[in-house]
Amino acid sequence: MTSTLTPASVRATFSIGDETTAKRTADLLAESFDNNEAAIAAFEASDKSWDITIHFADPPDRDAIRALVALTSSDEIASHIAYETVEAKDWVKASLDGLAAVNAGRFIVHGQHHRDSIAPNRIGIEIEAALAFGTGHHGTTRGCLLLLDQILKHKTPRHVLDLGCGTGVLGIAAAKALRWKVLASDIDLKSTQVARENSRLNGTGALTQIVCAPGFSSPHFQQQPKFDLVLANILANPLRRLASPMAAHLALPAYVILSGLLPDQANAVIAAYRMVGLVLVRKIQIDGWTSLLLYRPALHRPAM
């Protein structure tokens, strides 16, 4: 396992009384920071409350952190965030040690310490601790993996895109299950570097083309056939803006999996994609986050 010794950092800690709110808050914080900015961990305390810890590489904007926490919990909780300076240590590894493997249908996302315990009929996706932001330990990634598993029980997509790939978990999952090439893209160069390392770790380096691209206008997409499966675990507003350009790059028929949505954002996203010809097949909610399975029909809606 890679060691990542960092300089002195800033740690923020606070407590939330129930598991659902704690996980939703931790997920929102994780979605709000780039991979190299912060590490977020949530653990159940002995009194059944949940402690959330955020390690920042640089001093954070405390007002912005308070606003994010208040969005999913309360102003009272947000007002009690405590900050302290932490001496140099491998805090990425420390924040991830002991995480349980995440099960999502036939997929299981795990760390190195679970490598030898994956059943032969499961598809393991290993993420190193030093590369583990976005490992699947929140509802958005797990929701996408469950919907991907559902699709693969019925269809065998041949032109797959993991849009906004982050650490590459979804693209790796598709490549492992299909044993077929997958395109993965992200607007952040560091994310694509992490995704390539994770893909090599999982033996899918030859199956994943990982590119840094600002959007569908990138030349990388012009050279591709139209996609019959797109996975996009991003956030609601970018997903709404991407509806039309994504539709222009979809085959007939095609499936689209979207996540990164709070429950009250889902209908607006569904409406945006309905306008460009996609219909809702399934909506699932995990830990306060919504994931969508959409379908662009050739002639009719599939039976699922």
pLDDT tens digits along 121-162 = 899 998 765 444 455 556 888 999 999 999 999 999 999 999
pLDDT of residue 91: 45
**DSSP labels, 138-192:** SHHHHHHHHHHHHHHTT---SSEEEET-TT-HHHHHHHHHHTS-EEEEES-HHHH
- Is residue 110 included in any domain, yes or no? no
The answer on 154 and 28 residing in a single domain is: no
The answer on 287 and 147 residing in a single domain is: yes
Among 71, 96, 121, the domain boundary falls at 96
- Is residue 1 included in any domain, yes or no? no
- Is residue 107 included in any domain, yes or no? no
Residue partners of 273: CB distance under 8 A and separation at least 6: 243, 247, 256, 258, 294
pLDDT tens digits along 213-243 = 988 888 888 888 999 999 999 889 999 999 9
| 302 vs 219, residue with greater confidence | 219
The answer on 261 and 141 residing in a single domain is: yes
Among 66, 96, 126, the domain boundary falls at 96
The answer on 180 and 234 residing in a single domain is: yes
pLDDT of residue 111: 77
- Is residue 111 included in any domain, yes or no? no
Which tokens is 7 given?
């300089």
- Is residue 102 included in any domain, yes or no? no
The answer on 43 and 175 residing in a single domain is: no
- Is residue 101 included in any domain, yes or no? no
The answer on 84 and 165 residing in a single domain is: no
The answer on 158 and 290 residing in a single domain is: yes
| Domain count of the fold of the chain | 2
Task: Determine the average pLDDT of the residues in 76-84.
Answer: 92
pLDDT tens digits along 107-121 = 988 877 777 778 888
DSSP 243: H
| 32 vs 5, residue with greater confidence | 32
- Give the CATH number, domain containing residue 16: 3.30.70.120
Query: How far, in Å, CA of 48 to CA of 170, rounded?
Result: 32
Torsion of CA 232, 233, 237, 242, to 10 degrees: -10
Residue partners of 56: CB distance under 8 A and separation at least 6: 9, 10, 11, 12, 37, 38
Task: Tell me the pTM.
Answer: 0.69
- Give the CATH number, domain containing residue 275: 3.40.50.150
Among 96, 125, 144, the domain boundary falls at 96
**Closest among 267, 278, 162 to 220, alpha carbons compared:** 162
The answer on 268 and 142 residing in a single domain is: yes
Lookup result for tokens 């409406």: 271
Residue 75 has pLDDT above 70, yes or no: yes
Domain limits for position 239: 134-296
pLDDT tens digits along 10-28 = 889 999 998 889 989 988 9
The answer on 264 and 147 residing in a single domain is: yes
Question: pLDDT-based confidence at 74, cuts 50/70/90?
Answer: very high
- Is residue 124 included in any domain, yes or no? no
- Is residue 118 included in any domain, yes or no? no
- φ/ψ of residue 95, rounded to 5: -75, -20
pLDDT of residue 143: 94
The answer on 147 and 291 residing in a single domain is: yes
Which residues are paired to 279 by β-bridges? 295
The answer on 142 and 92 residing in a single domain is: no
The answer on 145 and 89 residing in a single domain is: no
